[in-house]
Structure 1
Amino acid sequence: MLLKTALRSVGVLLLMLATWPAAWSQSAPQFDAIVVRQHDPHDVSQDGGIHWGGLAFEANNVPLTFLMTQAFGVKKWLIDGLPAWAAKSTWDVNAKVAASDLKLMQSLTREQRSQMLQTVLTEQFRLRYHFGEKLQPVYELSVLPAGPKFKASANIDGTKRGFGGWTFAAGLAQCERITMAQFANGLSPLVERVVMDKTGLTGAYDIEVRWTPENSANAGNDNGLDATAAPGIVTALREQAGLRLTSAKAMVPLLVIDAMEQPEQQ
């Protein structure tokens, strides 16, 4: 389903690349018209997602936390103070720019898209916020004494490879030319904790790890009879990659909601 795909793979990749907001290097086009509606609460479909195209941004059946992750580069469990109504509902958004901004829309950077989504949230939901820190449980990613079970990325024609291809989804991490800091960040949404890179590895690597997600319908239901079933993520990282996840606590950045209002239905 589109929403699950967005949250588990494409959204994960966007979150990996996003960090806490800095000063935007370029001005984004302004939305000329924005229509926001609460998605039909009687619709039990899980279909939904976001789309940038032409002169418009569209969102269908998406939680506000998902819009916030895209707007601020913050993981959803690091949003503090979300009102109960915002946590329970999903929303449809249709926002358009003027025709004169077509070329700008066709060449939007990730930072510009984030800035435009911030505008939707601050104008339509009267969002007021600040950034803070909080001591929270985290995971530390380290290398087992026997060493890693993956290799450094190869060179092509004697030159270093550039940006690689990464997939982080439920049950799968498949990465080419990824740093360990990026790998740790990609794991974070899958374990819903900040993962801190403590490996000491400084290169770029090719890594593939497969596991059975904890919420899988098949997890733990075979009474140990399926010897081919993938292990949990902690065991999989240890056995397949030579990596260890250790529980710890650390100060982590939060997006703190100071105020937020439901928009008037249009």
Structure 2
Amino acid sequence: MTPFAMPISAQTRTMPPATAPQSATTQQADAQSATLPPTPAFDVASIHPNNSVHTARTHIYSYANQGHFIAINATPMQLLQYAYNLPGSRILGLSGWATSAKYDIEAKSGQALVDRLAVLPYPDAKDQLLKMVQLLLADRFHLAAHRESRELPVYELVVAKGGVKFSPVKDGPKHVVDSNSRAGNVSMSITSSSHAMNDLAEMLYRYTGRVVFDRTGLTGIYTISLTFTPDDSRSAVPDTETTSSVDASPSIFTALKEQLGLELKSSKGPVDVLVVDHIDPPTEN
């Protein structure tokens, strides 16, 4: 099937998307950012259906400082999750095809924009790239969406019966947060953080599909680590590859209790969501 390849329309360049939160380092690059258009857009994009087997993996690659974006075997839902940095549970209003139809996408920027992105710190270039993907979705999928707050299920991070299984450290705060995945297992580590529980809550949000509020009441400086097998259907960009149960770590709920003496309690609270008002399959028009 012939890919749908065309320049991004000039009209779309003037349509501001619902923006993802800016990074804390944005102000540090004001001088460089001032040279960027208010809503930079990809110069050209190729989109075509991927008709591979349903269980094939999804890959999303971003080269923020080069203004280059690649998605392989990705549904519109997964593209929205990436572009708005949200789990599927916080993206509402999608019809069935948008969670099942899969596409291959490659989008590139013109050289002038690449030169401007190249001098930005990576977090700021990544923010710009996410906005560019949002514009791409608006242009080629006719996406219209808005943000609002809704009362939704959330998790509260609390101390489990028996108490926590870690103690404050005497080191000064370093605030090193790391997460990696290997053989289907996720390992998280937070080193010498004075807000370790908030850091942990933010990391857990990605793998639970719900906003997580810190209700532990723990203060001080902590170093903690956690290893578990995620439920991939709830992660920010789902991965259909499975792993053998022989090598699997415990679930995130079991791991929290056994390794840290913490647990997640179901509750409800106000949550910012993205509501999709309209989206179409991509066409050549």
User: Structure 1-normalised TM-score?
Assistant: 0.75
Aligned match of 1:101 = 113
2:258 corresponds, among 214, 239, 243, to 239
Contact residue 55 and residue 99 of structure 1 kept, 8 A: no
Deviation at 1:183, TM superposition (A): 0.8
Aligned match of 1:264 = 283
3-state SS of paired residue (2:176): coil
Aligned match of 1:150 = 166
186 and 61 in structure 1: CA distance in 2 versus 1, 3 angstrom threshold: same
Moved more, 84-93 or 197-206: 197-206
Q: Work out the CA distance in 1 between the residues paired with 2:44 and 2:169.
A: 47
Aligned match of 1:185 = 202
**CA deviations over 1:131-154 (Å, ceiling 9, x no partner):** 123332222111236432224455
Aligned match of 1:174 = 188
Calculate percent identity across the aligned residue pairs. Answer: 29
3-state SS of paired residue (1:139): strand
3-state SS of paired residue (1:263): coil
1:197 corresponds, among 182, 194, 214, to 214
Instruction: Identify unmatched segments of 5+ residues in structure 2.
Output: 1-18, 28-32, 233-241
Deviation at 1:119, TM superposition (A): 0.8
Deviation at 1:43, TM superposition (A): 7.1
231 and 56 in structure 1: CA distance in 2 versus 1, 3 angstrom threshold: closer
1:33 corresponds, among 44, 51, 54, to 44
Instruction: Identify unmatched segments of 5+ residues in structure 1.
Output: 1-18, 223-227
Aligned match of 2:133 = 117
Aligned match of 2:173 = 160
User: Structure 2-normalised TM-score?
Assistant: 0.70
Contact residue 170 and residue 221 of structure 2 kept, 8 A: no
33 and 205 in structure 1: CA distance in 2 versus 1, 3 angstrom threshold: same
Contact residue 29 and residue 104 of structure 1 kept, 8 A: no
Letter of the structure 2 residue corresponding to residue 175 of structure 1: S
Deviation at 1:192, TM superposition (A): 2.5
Match status 1:74 vs 2:90: no
3-state SS of paired residue (2:43): strand
Q: Work out the CA distance in 2 between the residues paired with 1:230 and 1:97.
A: 41
Moved more, 135-144 or 101-110: 101-110
Counting matched residue pairs gives: 237
66 and 182 in structure 1: CA distance in 2 versus 1, 3 angstrom threshold: farther
Q: Work out the CA distance in 2 between the residues paired with 1:98 and 1:261.
A: 26
Q: Work out the CA distance in 2 between the residues paired with 1:99 and 1:217.
A: 41
204 and 36 in structure 1: CA distance in 2 versus 1, 3 angstrom threshold: farther
Contact residue 212 and residue 229 of structure 1 kept, 8 A: yes
Aligned match of 1:250 = 269
3-state SS of paired residue (1:121): helix
Deviation at 1:82, TM superposition (A): 0.9
Q: Work out the CA distance in 2 between the residues paired with 1:204 and 1:171.
A: 26
Letter of the structure 2 residue corresponding to residue 121 of structure 1: L
Aligned match of 2:75 = 63
**CA deviations over 1:65-104 (Å, ceiling 9, x no partner):** 2222222222222110112111101221121211122222
Q: Work out the CA distance in 2 between the residues paired with 1:153 and 1:22.
A: 31
Letter of the structure 2 residue corresponding to residue 38 of structure 1: P
Q: Work out the CA distance in 2 between the residues paired with 1:139 and 1:74.
A: 16
2:102 corresponds, among 90, 93, 115, to 90
Aligned match of 1:6 = none
Letter of the structure 2 residue corresponding to residue 184 of structure 1: A
